[in-house]
Structure 1
Amino acid sequence: MNRNDSFREFVATHQQSLIRTAYLLTGDAHLAEDLLQSVLAKLVGRWPKVARLEHPEAYARKALLNQHISWRRRRTASELPSAAPPEHAYWTEDRAVVRIVMRQALMRLAPRQRAVIILRFYEDRTERETADLLGCSLGTVKSQAHHALARLRELAPELAPKFEELDQLAIEEARR
């Protein structure tokens, strides 16, 4: 199997999970595609080295996170932060509304906090795995998760029952 075949196989196998992560990071399907495309373009040049790693998917995920944070640092002048939060939908059991409200709240978190929440709770990774992917300490993951959940409570109080479930998961894991 040559280098290109190996890379094509990797992309075919992991594309859906990587695009989902990119979407959760960006909150926009088109930006997610752009993010993944830019990461894969860089990855193909390094593929011989990356393919020899034990977990090339973890490398690709970390590249997604780093690229997204890099993009956020270069915020364009047309984006202006707003002091007034957007209107929130009232609590309803409609899953679509919950997803929309949660996505809006996630997009207002700092990139590192968003990455921690996505890795810990959407991708169901352990604190240690999250720390390894982000290249930070376990304590940083714990504090970022704590601050991010507090911020999400402020941004979307109607989702409080969902955050209580996440708190219980974090408490149970801390006891292990």
Structure 2
Amino acid sequence: MEAALAAAEAEAGAIDFEVWVTEKADALVRFAYVLTGDVTLAEDAVQDALTTACARWAKVSRADDPEAYVKRMVVNAHISWWRRFRRREAPTPEPVRSTSPTPDGTAARADAEAVWELCKTLPDRQRAAVVLRFYEDLSYAEIGVLLNCAEATARSHVHRALGVLKSTLSKEGAEDA
């Protein structure tokens, strides 16, 4: 009798997990893409996080904010990946800027893609901090919690990343003139 009750509770938990994933999967992949800058890495990070979350769903579902809990798992999965492969370098091409006006919004899209290409050149922790600050609109304290660092360190990551981006854009502007 108790075994049947435990099995029913486990099945109910699995259903809740499946429903939750159905509702949140796309948002998690978008979040991971912005974090990683790569579709494949984003999907892998989300898959790793959801695999872990499924195994611990009873604990995760009792959290104050299960989505934030799983996002932290996505960040951790990505950090684990880049720690393993940190020594590999992947050069990225220079962003191509369009100078012709296009009324259909492709110029805005090209600018957005150029910004993402620049963000891909940032070190992983700085890129993660920028994404969490400006895409997810998190406070520095929340970023510190997600990146497992002090609030001041989170501020430093964002500040340094913005400095690098500003310097890069200034150099490109000087070269174009």
TM-score normalised according to structure 1 size: 0.78
Distance 1:9 1:159, change over 3 A: farther
- Name the CA distance, whole Å, in 2 between partners of 1:35 and 1:156: 30
- Name the CA distance, whole Å, in 1 between partners of 2:35 and 2:55: 24
Q: 8 Å contact 1:39–1:60 — kept in the other structure?
A: yes
Matched, 1:113 2:126: yes
Of 123, 147, 150, the match for 1:134:
147
Q: CA deviation at 1:127?
A: 1.9
Q: What is aligned with 2:69? A: 59
Higher relative contact order (CA 8 A, sep 6+): 1
TM-score normalised according to structure 2 size: 0.78
Q: How many residues align?
A: 157
Unaligned runs of 5+ in 1: 161-176
- Name the CA distance, whole Å, in 1 between partners of 2:70 and 2:125: 17
CA RMSD of aligned residues (A): 2.5
- Name the CA distance, whole Å, in 2 between partners of 1:31 and 1:132: 22
Greater Rg over alpha carbons, structure: 2
Unaligned runs of 5+ in 2: 1-8, 102-106
Q: Which amino acid aligns with 1:45?
A: A
Q: Which amino acid aligns with 1:69?
A: I
Instruction: Please show how residues 1-176 of structure 1 align to structure 2 within 5 Å.
Output: 2-75=12-85, 79-80=88-89, 82=91, 86-90=93-97, 94-157=107-170
